[in-house]
A and B are shown apart, each in its own frame.
Chain A
Amino acid sequence: MKGSWDDRDNPFAIEKRDDDLAPDDDTSPHALEVRPARIGLAIVLLASLVGAYFAATSTADFVTHLDRDVHAIHCSFNPGDKAEMGESGCRTVMLSPYSSFFRDRWWGGVPVALWALAVFSFLAYRSAHLIWRGKPLRSEGLFLFLATLLPVGMSAVYGHLAVNEVGAVCNVCVGIYVASGAAFLGALLTLLLSVPKRDPAAVRRFATGFGEGVLFVGAMTLVYLTSVPEGRADGKGGAAGCGGLVQPEDEAGIMVTLGGKGKAAIEVLDPLCPACRAFDARLKASGLDEKLAAKAVLFPLDSTCNWMVSTSLHPGACAVSEAMLCAAEKDAQGPRKVLDWAFVHQEALRELAEKDEPALRAKIEAEFPNVKGCLGSAVVKNKIVKSLRWAVSNALPVMTPQLFVEGTRMCDEDTDLGLEYTLTQMLSRGGAK
């Protein structure tokens, strides 16, 4: 292809060099004019802009939640689609511990989407600059190629985490993965079509490019951290909590041990509640569960035993709660085992209970034979009532999960993105009352 194309007819031809290359560049102008490296650069630019769009969408959704409220979030490839309020893969992923870093230092942490936005912005800048200037050198092509390995690598890691750890895939994230792949291919094309001459300034260019990349990520992080709201101006919420227990005693023996060593904590939960499962997973992923000597008060949101709900939000929750109380009589670790099993099979258990509650009870007995004779008995049903009445005595909201650290109730808005930060603060304050 060298030296045979007419610039006037070739839309991809690179314009003649002027003052854009360093004096020590010994690249032949003739060679520079003929390689259609702009195709690759255009692909990188376009892919970077698309990636930046998806990363910005994800960052915006994350940042919106810094007001400690629940908001609709975007979970579509189509830019025109509205944000969704209900459960979605994007919400699950956003609430997972992998969506941000340094969660114990800042409320919500620094969203990884912010860094994705910074990286795509950087790639867009690099590719736009090279398109504008023209004549990308092999060293520049190589740097761009290596730079695109970062989003590609992160996409691979996060795709793996989404499928294998979080169990949900976020469409916006998939948009980022695809954009990363496209940018990588564009950069590869740029590398292959760039000027193959030796570049004495390659190391300097590489260092400069690397420094610029760090600057983009660092500047965005700095912008984020210097402007992120620390908490409510009235000082409420956060480590100060939202209320407390007026009758924390367990006179009826209705609390079951969940594990951990450290500050006394009580978790009000429903074993078939998806939010409780997600909360438990977040707590485990944070490692903070080990700093809590946690007990559970069972609060099944199932009208078969809970008079406070008019319909069974989680059918079968009463039966599984009974099983946890029964298991506690045989083995201190029993309730945790039942809970973990229930969390794993939540959807199937709820479905089974809705169709045939006795079948669910039979399934529980088959899985945990030591609850036979106790499950469904008047004694354990009475314990469930006591458990619910414990919530009445403490005037708790009819919702799960709820966490109390040494009697102080963690605010609902701090149980997802702000969990690590708030809990760390509560633990360091010694569980303020």
Chain B
Amino acid sequence: MNDLARKGITGGVGLAVPAFLVLSWIGAAAERLEEKAKAPQERKVAIASVAEDAYCTPELKAIVRRVAGACGLLDQSGGRGCQPMEAKNVAQLSDDDFNALFRPLAKRAHIIQFDADQTELDPAAMAQVEKAWGDQRGASFFFVVARASPDGNEKKNEELSAARAKAVLGHLQAKFNDPDLKKEVGLLWLGEGFAQLGTEFCDWQRSRSGECTSKEINRSAFVAWIDCAI
């Protein structure tokens, strides 16, 4: 066998084998790519979404939506606030059932306390409001439910609770200057007429650590993010 033939054989094998391998690998990859185009695979990655906590039962969401919608939270008209009788009518709940709605929020809610007959936030209250607002996570709605203790007349207490709710909102606006506030914050002022808090709420996160009777706990604004996709 002459040298050229030897070269041809060894060179041919040396070139053909790797070339064949490369061609077969590329062919297989091209085939898979084509198949993928024909039958796109389902996306396995989750899509970013707002939070949906375990306590967001369909019943709870329906009530929250009803309350929130009726109280001006779901439209973006800027009209906000639900007065005691409206909240009661819309929720169609007893006092206890209304408060029960918020019990799953024990870890999320903050109770902002006020002095008697006062509507201004003290420094501890401001800090508590900021802490609550900063802990939004995936929640969509920030509820401010203000109350008054049953001292004095009903009308006065309704005005007090409204002013307390607005004081919370005012501080949020001043501190965060967040355009989303209008879409996310809902105010409910309940006066003394509906869903007074029991003293068991004294164990929740409060802006004050002192004495906590049914009067103190109701001179308050209950603030919490609601982790439900409503």
Contacts and interface: CB of A to CB of B under 8 A. Distances in A.
B10 A128 contact: yes
A388 B3 contact: no
Contacts of B47: 395-398
B25 A64 contact: yes
B15 A121 contact: yes
B180 A386 contact: yes
Given A307-B137, A382-B133, A63 B25 contact: yes
A67 B3 contact: no
B178 interface: yes
Nearest to A237: B37
A386 B23 CA distance: 50
DSSP class of A's interface residues: helix, strand, loop or mixed? Answer: helix
Given A219-B15, A252-B179, A397-B46, A19 B29 contact: no
B136 interface: yes
Contacts, number: 158
B49 interface: yes
A306 B135 CA distance: 11
Contact of A20 (B6, B135, B138): B6
A347 B134 CA distance: 28
A221 to B, nearest CB: 10
Contacts of B33: 66-68, 229, 231-233
B175 A379 contact: yes
A229 B29 contact: yes
Contacts of A391: 48
A: contact size bracket: 35 or more
Contacts of B19: 219-220, 223
A67 B180 CA distance: 43
Contact of B30 (A67, A132, A219, A377): A67
B105 interface: no
Contact of A397 (B3, B30, B45): B45
B131 interface: yes
Contact of A227 (B10, B30, B32, B37): B30
Interface string A377-399: 11101100110110110111111
Interface in B40-62: 43, 45-51
Interface in A212-271: 212, 215-216, 219-220, 223-224, 227-229, 231-234, 236, 251-252
13 contacts: A59-B22, A129-B7, A133-B6, A227-B26, A251-B179, A305-B137, A308-B49, A385-B134, A386-B178, A386-B180, A392-B50, A398-B46, A398-B47
Given A229-B33, A232-B37, 20 more contacts: A20-B3, A52-B18, A59-B25, A63-B26, A118-B18, A121-B17, A121-B18, A128-B14, A129-B11, A133-B3, A212-B11, A216-B15, A220-B18, A224-B26, A228-B26, A229-B29, A306-B137, A308-B48, A397-B46, A398-B45
